[in-house]
């Protein structure tokens, strides 16, 4: 069995047959974007600002900005960003169980037919990357559709006043200081980090059950929201934590390096582990 057929099998079984899972990002983004447009209209009405100052970048920022640096203080309780968290959590859930289920089901026959464990593993890696890109692609398309239908201009600008209101930003002096546009690197970083974290989660499912692997992802997500640190990868997936937007934020170069390291480590460790993995062992939680 050729490698390309392994990939075709995974696309067919992991994406096409589970297309309902990919309706989730469409639903979430549809609701969140519509809410964003409603709030934008409220802002424009209240402050008498022209609609031409608002662009698609503002809706994108509402979805992917995350939250500014958390400073623990009385009156400033820790709360995670609702939209950002649901987008990334659901993305992790969408790609969580297919590998394990396939390994314990028909995937074992595919592995035997392919004659190689490596082909099976790398095919799952490609499926994971494709699924994650598709997930964020759907988010992008749905938010663009909402943007077009609501008459908001397509562009990468950020209305600083609007974002301060939408995301309840307290520290205006250090946020949006350097740029007020979504640069390509800010735009692409959430997807890169999402790919890296989903591969890490896939690798973890070879050691622990998917439920615990998801807990690990959740803990990393919350730790990243709580602490602004270049060592916590989800920081790079929050636009408001990037050095381009926030003085003292994380640098995208470190983010790319971090993602490459996580991807390399996950794929290599996963491959080595999978070569010795007992695929007939009993399912355990």
Partner 1 sequence: MWFVRRLLRIEIGKALKNKAFFISLAIGIACVVLSLIYEVNIYNRDMDMAAETSGMKQSSEAAIYSLFNSWIGGEFLSLGTGVYYFIFPVLCALPYGWSYCVERKSGYVRTMIVQCGKGKYYVAKYIATFMSGGLAMVIPLIASVMMTAAFFPAVKPDVIYDIYTGVFKTTFMSGLYYSVPFLYLFLLLCINFVFCGLLACCSMAAVSVIRQKHVVTLVPFVICLALNMLTSVMYNENNYHNVEYSPFYFLKSCASRVPSSGLVIGIITLVLFVVTFVTVNVWERRHEVY
Nearer to partner 1, 61 or 263 (CB): 61
Identify which of 191, 242, 185, 283 has the alpha carbon closest to the alpha carbon of residue 66: 242
Nearer to partner 1, 72 or 184 (CB): 72
Measured between its terminal Cα atoms, the distance across the chain in Å is: 32
Return the number of other C-beta atoms located less than 10 Å from residue 28's C-beta: 19
Nearer to partner 1, 226 or 277 (CB): 226
Report the alpha-carbon distance of residue 99 to residue 118 in Å, rounded: 14
Contact 265, 243 (CB under 8 A): no
> Measured from the CB of residue 1, what is the shortest distance to partner 1 in angstroms?
26
> Measured from the CB of residue 106, what is the shortest distance to partner 1 in angstroms?
14
Q: What angle do CA 74, 237, 41 make, to 5 degrees?
A: 75
Report the alpha-carbon distance of residue 43 to residue 224 in Å, rounded: 30
Residues binding partner 1 (CB under 8 A): 28, 31-32, 35, 42, 72-75, 77-80, 82-83, 85-86, 89-90, 93, 96-97, 100-101, 209-212, 214-215, 218-219, 221-223, 225-227, 283, 285
Identify which of 216, 214, 219, 251 has the alpha carbon closest to the alpha carbon of residue 235: 251
Nearer to partner 1, 3 or 226 (CB): 226
> Measured from the CB of residue 249, what is the shortest distance to partner 1 in angstroms?
19
> Measured from the CB of residue 228, what is the shortest distance to partner 1 in angstroms?
13
> Measured from the CB of residue 126, what is the shortest distance to partner 1 in angstroms?
22
Nearer to partner 1, 15 or 90 (CB): 90
Contact 167, 237 (CB under 8 A): no
């Amino acid at each position: 069995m050729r490698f390309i057929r392994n990939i075709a099998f995974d696309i067919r079984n992991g994406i096409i047959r589970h297309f309902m899972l990919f309706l989730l990002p469409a639903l979430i983004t549809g609701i969140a974007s519509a809410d964003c447009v409603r709030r934008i209209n409220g802002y424009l009405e209240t402050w008498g600002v022209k609609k031409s100052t608002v662009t698609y970048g503002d809706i994108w920022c509402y979805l992917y900005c995350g939250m500014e640096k958390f400073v623990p203080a009385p009156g400033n309780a820790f709360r995670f960003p609702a939209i950002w968290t649901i987008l990334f959590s659901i993305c992790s859930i969408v790609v969580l169980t297919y590998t394990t289920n396939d390994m314990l089901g028909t995937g074992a026959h595919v592995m035997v037919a392919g004659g190689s464990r490596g082909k099976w593993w790398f095919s799952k890696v490609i499926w994971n990357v494709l699924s994650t890109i598709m997930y964020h692609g759907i988010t992008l398309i749905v938010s663009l559709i909402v943007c077009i239908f609501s008459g908001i201009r397509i562009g990468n600008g950020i209305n600083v006043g609007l974002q301060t209101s939408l995301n309840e930003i307290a520290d205006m002096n250090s946020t949006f200081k350097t740029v007020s546009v979504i640069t390509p690197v800010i735009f692409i970083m959430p997807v890169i980090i999402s790919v890296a974290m989903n591969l890490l989660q896939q690798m973890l499912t070879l050691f622990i059950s998917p439920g615990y692997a998801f807990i690990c992802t959740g803990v990393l997500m919350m730790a990243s929201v709580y602490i602004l640190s270049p060592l916590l990868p989800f920081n790079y997936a929050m636009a408001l934590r990037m050095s381009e937007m926030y003085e003292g934020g994380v640098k995208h170069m470190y983010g790319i390096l971090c993602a490459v390291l996580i991807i390399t480590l996950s794929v290599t460790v996963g491959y080595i582990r999978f070569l010795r993995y007992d695929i007939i062992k009993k399912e355990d939680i």
